[in-house]
Amino acid sequence: MLLEVSNLDISYGEHPIVHDVSLKLDSGKVIAIVGESGSGKTTVIRAILGCLPNEGHVTNGKIVFDGKNLLENTAEEWRKVSGKDITMVFQASGSMLDPIQKIGKQFVEYIRQHVDVTEEDAYQQAIAMLKRMNLPNPETIMDSFPFELSGGMNQRVGVAMGMFFSPRILLADEPTSALDVTTQAQVVEEMMGICRDDGTAIIIVTHNLGVAAYMADEIIVMRNGHIVERGTSDEIVNNPKEDYTKELLDAVPQIGGLAHDIYEAG
């Protein structure tokens, strides 16, 4: 088992936020965690990467990656794991970019932080990754500051950086929320391609059950910090047990009077 989260409790300060969450993830598999804002889904994946906000802390449970409990990591051990073995794409990746440094400088430094390559090699590899994300004129993007790009383009740069090393686990927090439908589909396909080709496991957090059903082997439904339902995509989409899950399914956008079900399109 690549990752096993057991009986995880998380609090912010003295306030419990996540209660008794468990999940198992193997190489090449995808888990989607769905739920409305405030359900605790983002808190779970932040804990897996050890990047909870200052007042956030795990109060119970284990997060075992490749046989080691990550909660026992030193700062140096976290540095080695983060960004290469486990990486995260945030909901607003553009906000994670330094606004006063060009994209190229940041991307090249990110690559060279983890592998011993020349600046030119890192630059060319970054260009190739931007092309894989179907970003137009990647050389121009590399020469741009984040504020010169649209929110959607910055998000795709963030996704490209997050997927660059084909990590063993990719944690994705609403990675396509800033994108139009066509670009969203392209990014999802690229993420799935890396999952298939490189054996990367993915945990994607989303409020969109259509995206979750298309991508995931297992869907976990969270509400108020608790898991209220879990099952295969087919089970959750076609035979939901909980009223809350049914409400989320009813919220999938309607086209022509019928639910636009990405699951069926896949």
- 3-state SS, residue 121: helix
Give tens-digit pLDDT for 176-233: 776 777 777 777 887 788 778 888 999 999 888 888 888 899 999 999 999 999 999 9
Alpha helices in 115-206 (DSSP H): 119-132, 138-142, 151-163, 181-198
Q: Is residue 138 part of a domain?
A: yes
Parallel, antiparallel, or unpaired: how do β-strands 56-65 and 68-69 relate? antiparallel
Q: Residues with Cβ < 8 Å from 135, sequence gap 6 or more?
A: 141, 153, 156, 157, 160
Picking from 71, 17, 40, the residue whose alpha carbon sits closest to that of residue 223 is 40
Give a yes or no: residue 127 inside a domain.
Answer: yes
Residue 37 maps to a domain:
no
Whether 122 maps to a domain, the answer reads yes
The answer to whether residue 113 is domain-embedded is yes
Task: Give pLDDT, residue 17.
Answer: 95
Other Cβ atoms within 10 Å of 244 Cβ, number: 18
Q: In angstroms, what CA-CA distances link 169 with 2, 76, 88, 175, 226? A: 9, 19, 9, 15, 23
pLDDT at 250: 85
Residue (of 64, 23, 26) closest to 44 by Cα position: 23
CA distance readout (Å), 68 to 14, 84, 162, 166, 198 = 27, 16, 23, 21, 22
Please list the pLDDT of the chain residue by residue as tens digits (266 residues): 999 999 999 999 999 999 999 999 999 999 999 998 889 999 999 999 999 988 999 999 999 999 999 999 998 898 888 877 998 888 777 667 899 999 999 999 999 988 899 999 999 999 999 988 778 899 999 999 999 998 778 888 888 888 888 889 999 998 877 677 777 777 788 778 877 888 899 999 988 888 888 889 999 999 999 999 999 999 999 999 999 999 988 877 653 333 444 444 44
Domain that holds residue 156: 98-166
Q: Report helix angle 151-163 to 119-132, nearest 10.
A: 120
176 three-state secondary structure: coil
Tell whether 238 is covered by a domain.
Answer: no
> pTM for the complete prediction?
0.86
Q: From 263, 262, 94, 237, select the one nearest 177 (Cα to Cα).
A: 94
> Could you tell me if residue 63 is inside a domain?
no
Tokens 């390559």, residue located: 117
The confidence score (pLDDT) of residue 259 equals: 40
Number of domains in the chain: 1
| 153 domain residue, yes or no | yes
Tell me what pLDDT residue 253 has: 63
Place of tokens 């990647």: 138
Q: If you write DSSP's letter for every residue of 131-155 in order, what string do you get?
A: HHTT-S-HHHHHTS-GGGS-HHHHH
Predicted confidence at residue 178, as pLDDT, reads 66
State the pLDDT at residue 94.
67
